[in-house]
Structure 1
């Protein structure tokens, strides 16, 4: 996973603390947030119109910015701001969180440092120059021309820094397939034959003789006929007529990540003659291989 450092400057520690609490509430880990200076300091330059004295650096602001690998010009601007009572916040965030974190620090009062630098220069601040550092006042022994010298020590060390790209994975949502089943009523027509019985009464005129001794003809008689008819009876039967299946298939693909990392390059200039068995060209080659 690729990480980036976000640098933000606040005029007051209270504003920086408010922004820090907002980042913590948004899920940013506390170990990823640094405030410089780390503690409240009583040092604040009284005359803010004069150039910041890097040779003294009473608050340690210049040296405290060293671990962030900033160019000296940017480092000097942040150090100048801290000498005026401001606070610098550094946040290490994953690339996916970069925009969200930047929005939060801007919302809680981070200063446009380019505009602020212009204001300071208009009031007399001259900014960083390499010859502002002297041998006796710096820890690393930088001379007035910016060249490192050994002072009262047998060796000095230049750290060779190299960033390594860490590639992680996260799940992102792609296209979505949704199948929704619902019930609706639709009209249907089914033909059916229905039977009906009808009773009819017909009177026919006749003229025939009554048989002798047929007394039954003079008795009461009742005949009943009942009509019947068929009517449709509806019943429903549910049957499965089709199935829809949803399957999720995982494919694996190879992707090459292209990004940049920073590393320290070393150039050795040895103007000594070959004495005491020291070969400057061989030394230069070994230094290159060690990188």
Structure 2
């Protein structure tokens, strides 16, 4: 018996990382990542309860992602622990937080359309019967009937896309700073003095003539002028470099196991020899 589990993560990046970690922690189990970009036909395979649909719509709108995996019943707890360790969150708790912040989506118990875009809560599981979800065996009819099983293998394709990592902007503005300087200024002053004298007029002195004597006062004043000078330059320059990054993921392939229940003699008569089970052999 196998069981399926879907776990919700707050971001698609966390979900992708959890799927990669799951392959390392639980060998043989592969997790698929679903998000808002996933094709609706793929999402129908999740078969989730309709009451979670509206909440999961909102989770995908907020950038969340889902990891979906199938695991044998005996390893279910191991899978749940690995997903929780990778950061899986409780979707019901997230729903309560979203409603507190103003989200008014449909509540549990309301009629909600089936989920066309995936999502799930952490540690949600369901059981399915069969030895790995095996389909009903196809039986051949007349001797001319023929049937085949395709061997499918996934191949990893890595592309590139440009993403913004922030912006650098230079803006200039004017700042006024008070400054002061000291300067020595010279001033001239004219003083008028009168002093008593008692002597005879000399021959060089004009006794009774009109005379005018003038003196001009002068003083230095501070004159301020400013000169703008460039003392530094700030510029933006873009450079480019290349780096090699290792992208890790898991790919699936189909293997075929042949079960030959005929006796050894019958097998030899039909040109078949070897063990009863031959994994990986095309038929």
TM-score between the two structures when normalised by the length of structure 2: 0.48
More helix per residue: 1
Give the TM-score normalised by the residue count of structure 1.
0.47
